[in-house]
C-alpha cells in the first residue's frame, strides 16, 4: 500500500522518552533494590495512565512529579519532593533519537505537513523541541494542555482532525499517524479511522509491549526508514 496519498503526518515519535526517564530516575535506580528497565516501565506506564485519567487537565510536568513519587512508593524506594519535582521538569533534557532531525527536514522539504500531537504541556514541549537541530519548527503543535485531555482519549484525535482541516484545508484521509506508542497513538487513531505508521523503536516498552495485537498499517524500524519510504512513494 503506497504512502503517496498522505499529506499530513501526525507525529509523536522523535524523542527518546524512555531514555530521558531512565536518566532522570537516577536517584531511585541507584538504590540497591531498584528494578531493571523493563520492570520499571511495567510499573511507570500504568501509574502515568491512571494519573492522566484521574485529572486530564493536570499539566504533564505535574503528572511526572506524581509519577516519580508514586513509583518510588510502589517500589519502596527512598525519595523526596525535590527529586520528584526535578523529574517533573526534566523533559527538556530528554534526548531526541539520532535520526529525528534529518528525517523531519527530509519530510518537510518533500512538502509534507508535520503536526505534533503530544501528551506534554506547552512549556515542556518547547524545551523538548530544542533537542532537535535548530529548534525545529513544526507546522502545528497540538498538546494535551491545549486540548484538555490526554491520549489515548479520542478527544485528542478529534481535535487534531478538526484543526488540520481548519489550519490546512485537509481531510482525515490525508492524515497519517507516525508514532511509537500503540496504546497512545496507533490504537485510538484506528478508532477514528486514521491510518498509522508504527516506528518500532528498539527497547521501547511503554505503550508497546502490552499491545502486540495492535496492528499498524505500516511498520518501520526508524524515522529515517519511514522518511525514505514515503518520499520514494511520492516521487
Would the pTM of this model clear 0.75, i.e. be above it?
yes
Mean pLDDT of the chain: 93
Q: Where in the chain is the domain with CATH 1.10.150.750?
A: 18-92
Distances (CA, A) of 150 to 33, 49, 77: 32, 9, 28
43-70, pLDDT tens digit by residue? Answer: 999 999 999 999 999 999 999 999 999 9
Instruction: Please give the pLDDT value at position 124.
Output: 93
Q: Where in the chain is the domain with CATH 3.40.50.1000?
A: 8-16+95-234
- Distance from C-alpha of 59 to C-alpha of 6, rounded to nearest angstrom: 32
Instruction: Please give the pLDDT value at position 135.
Output: 56
Mean pLDDT within 159-185: 97
Instruction: Please give the pLDDT value at position 132.
Output: 85
- Cα dihedral 208, 158, 168, 17, rounded to 10, equals -30
Q: Cβ-count burial of 175 within 10 angstroms (0-12 exposed, 13-18 middle, 19+ buried)?
A: buried
Q: From the candidates 12, 16, 121, 185, give the one annotated as an active-site residue.
A: 12
Percent of the chain at pLDDT exceeding 90 = 83
- Is 16 tagged catalytic? no
Residues 142 and 10 sit within 8 Å (Cβ to Cβ) = no
- Distance from C-alpha of 144 to C-alpha of 190, rounded to nearest angstrom: 19
Q: Which CATH number fits domain 18-92: 1.10.238.10, 3.30.450.20, 1.10.10.10, 1.10.150.750?
A: 1.10.150.750
Q: Which set of grid coordinates corresponds to residue 216?
A: 499498524
132-156, pLDDT tens digit by residue? Answer: 876 567 999 999 999 999 999 999 9
The CATH code of the domain at 8-16+95-234 is 3.40.50.1000
Judged against a pLDDT cut of 90, whether residue 211 lies above it is answered with: no
Length of the chain: 235
Amino acid at each position: 500500500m503506497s504512502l503517496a496519498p498522505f499529506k499530513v503526518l501526525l507525529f509523536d515519535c522523535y524523542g527518546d522518552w524512555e531514555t530521558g526517564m531512565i536518566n532522570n530516575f537516577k536517584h531511585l535506580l541507584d538504590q540497591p533494590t531498584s528494578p531493571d528497565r523493563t520492570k520499571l516501565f511495567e510499573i511507570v506506564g500504568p501509574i502515568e495512565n491512571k494519573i492522566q485519567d484521574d485529572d486530564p487537565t493536570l499539566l504533564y510536568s505535574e503528572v511526572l512529579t506524581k509519577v516519580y513519587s508514586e513509583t518510588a512508593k510502589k517500589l519502596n524506594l527512598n525519595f523526596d519532593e525535590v527529586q520528584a519535582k526535578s523529574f517533573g521538569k526534566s523533559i527538556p533534557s530528554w534526548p531526541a533519537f539520532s535520526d529525528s532531525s534529518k528525517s523531519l527536514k527530509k519530510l518537510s522539504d518533500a512538502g509534507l505537513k508535520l503536526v505534533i500531537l503530544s501528551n506534554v504541556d506547552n512549556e515542556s514541549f518547547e524545551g523538548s523541541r530544542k533537542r532537535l537541530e535548530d529548534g525545529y519548527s513544526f507546522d502545528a503543535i497540538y498538546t494535551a494542555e491545549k486540548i484538555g485531555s490526554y491520549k489515548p482519549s479520542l478527544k485528542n484525535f478529534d481535535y487534531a482532525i478538526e484543526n488540520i482541516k481548519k489550519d490546512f484545508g485537509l481531510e482525515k484521509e490525508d492524515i497519517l499517524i507516525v508514532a511509537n506508542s500503540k496504546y497512545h497513538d496507533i490504537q485510538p487513531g484506528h478508532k477514528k479511522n486514521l491510518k498509522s505508521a508504527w516506528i518500532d523503536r528498539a527497547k521501547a516498552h511503554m505503550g508497546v509491549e502490552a499491545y502486540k495485537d495492535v496492528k499498524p498499517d505500516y511498520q518501520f524500524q526508524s524515522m529515517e526508514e519511514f522518511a525514505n519510504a514515503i518520499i520514494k512513494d511520492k516521487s
